[in-house]
Amino acid sequence: MNCITDVKDKITKLIIKAYQNKASDLFIRENMYPYIRNNLGKIEMLEDDFIKDSQMISFLKKAEQLSDFLSSLDFVITDSDFFVSVANINCRCHFYKTIKGRAIAIRLLPDKIPSLNKLGLPESVKLLADKKSGLIIVSGPTGSGKSTTIASIIDVINQKYNYHIITIEDPIEYTFENKKSIISQIPLGKNITNFSESIKSAMRENPNVIMIGELRTLEDIKIALFAAESGHLVITTLHANNAIDALDRMINYEEKLNLKNLLANTFQAIITQKLVTTKEHKVLCLEILLRNNATVSCIKNEDYTSLINIMKSTPGMMTMQDHFNMLKEQGIISKEINL
């Protein structure tokens, strides 16, 4: 973990101010005002003071993980992900370039890993921490809390079982303390530059659980499925809006038949989540697909209509729309809000 302790640094001050304002994100662009995404998901200006080029460079240089990429003040690299802790505030950062100059998108992470109860996840999701092998996928759009859900599941496993857990992330977001388990957290970097290589390496390190930050490529998917088939519990994220989209993302390749059978034989759950903004807060809306004989058969036969009906009618499972309607009936989401 890279720690920045100089609280006099301009961008460090902005991170602290964003945290005090309960923002989820801070947007820094040189020669422009800093903005935050507030606790209701709205973009608003944090200060009416331009970010200077020198302030941007100073912060990036303090983030030691970037030092290997800095050959000059012009920055040869065009984008990079990195993790820093600023005044005990954990931040996931993405450095990139725009037509107007350098920019950093900074995600402010919670102080502690929230419990599954606090996240509002049902019992059927909590029980996934007891699975010994197979594939658990948490999907959803960017900013829907996928990493937090996975971290919470890992934390439950860490408290209950004497396991070796390996996490492969780009970048590392939550840092874990060994409880009953030992946890090895591996960032992608100079030595291993992609998830598929990291998964292959992790399988030689005798883990019980492999957490993969994201499945990005066909090779990642194939190696993750192989790891799950080999008796490991594999937990990962995917960008998909619902369970059916997630299935398509996993198998819609030339090797479809083999991938489909591997997925059907190994999957334990596909959880899709979306954050719905109300006037007062954000509400987690879920779709949950779990493994049973019927869902395995539907995946093998690509019978997605029946799969949706099973999710709608089976305890522990739900469609996104049904959960959204339930939250409306409970008065948690007002009737004028649409999914």
In a domain, 337, yes or no: no
Query: What SS3 state is found at 255?
Result: coil
Q: How many CB atoms lie within 10 A of CB 24?
A: 20
Q: Are residues 162 and 298 in the same domain?
A: yes
In a domain, 300, yes or no: yes
Q: Which two tokens stand for residue 235?
A: 């937990």
- At residue 71, the pLDDT reads 44
Q: Are residues 32 and 167 in the same domain?
A: no
Mean pLDDT value of segment 308-335: 93
What's at 160, amino acid-wise?
A: K
Give bridge partners of residue 79 from the DSSP assignment: 96
The residues, any chain, with a CB within 8 Å of residue 329's CB and separated by 6 or more, are none
For residue 286, report the phi and psi dihedrals to the nearest 5 degrees: -125, 150
Q: In this structure, what CATH number is given to the domain that contains residue 67?
A: 3.30.450.90
How many domains does the chain divide into? 2
Mean pLDDT rounded to a whole number for the chain: 89
Q: Pairing between strand 89-98 and 101-108?
A: antiparallel
* Residue among 166, 128, 173, 168 at smallest CA distance from 288: 128
Distance (Å, rounded) from C-alpha 160 to C-alpha 326? Answer: 32
The whole domain housing 70 covers 2-108
Q: How many CB atoms lie within 10 A of CB 117?
A: 10
Distance (Å, rounded) from C-alpha 114 to C-alpha 188? Answer: 25
Query: Max alpha carbon distance in the chain (Å)?
Result: 60
Q: Are residues 310 and 205 in the same domain?
A: yes
Q: Are residues 264 and 321 in the same domain?
A: yes
Q: Are residues 137 and 85 in the same domain?
A: no
Q: Which two tokens stand for residue 261?
A: 């059978």
- At residue 77, the pLDDT reads 55
In a domain, 131, yes or no: yes
Q: Are residues 101 and 134 in the same domain?
A: no
pTM equals: 0.85
Which of 63, 82, 108 finishes a domain?
108
Q: Are residues 122 and 51 in the same domain?
A: no
Q: Are residues 168 and 73 in the same domain?
A: no
Which of 51, 78, 108 finishes a domain?
108
Q: What is the pLDDT of residues 43-100, one digit of tens each?
A: 999 999 999 988 888 888 777 654 454 444 444 456 777 888 888 888 888 888 888 8
Q: Are residues 192 and 242 in the same domain?
A: yes
Residue 102's Cα: distance from chain center in Å?
25
